[in-house]
Amino acid sequence: MTTTTQYKCFECNKKVSDEYLRKKVRCPYCGSKMLFKPRTASTTYKAR
Ligand SMILES: [Zn+2]
């Protein structure tokens, strides 16, 4: 099981690894600082 935290760039929609963000908080591809954490599937939803 891999538990790597990955962020996504808001601009180019590419995945940015958590390791990279320790150095710089910006996208290595387009240089954008708009990064967000994609929702993980750990939350259980109850369908109503
Ligand atoms: Zn980007």
pLDDT value at residue 33: 94
Q: How many Å lie between the centroid of ligand 1 and the Cα of residue 13? A: 6
pLDDT value at residue 15: 93
Per-position pLDDT tens, the chain of length 48: 666 678 999 999 999 988 888 888 889 999 999 999 887 655 566 777
Could you give the count of Cα atoms lying within 13 Å of 1 in the half-sphere of its Cβ? 1
| Helix locations, 1-48, DSSP H | 18-23
pLDDT value at residue 20: 83
Partner residues linked to 17 by β-bridges: 6
pLDDT value at residue 23: 82
Measure Cα distances from 18 to 3, 21, 36, 48 in Å: 11, 5, 11, 35
Global pTM reads 0.63
* Distance of alpha carbon 16 from the chain centroid: 6
- The token pair at 10 is 């808001």
Q: How many Å lie between the centroid of ligand 1 and the Cα of residue 47? A: 34
Q: How many Å lie between the centroid of ligand 1 and the Cα of residue 46? A: 34
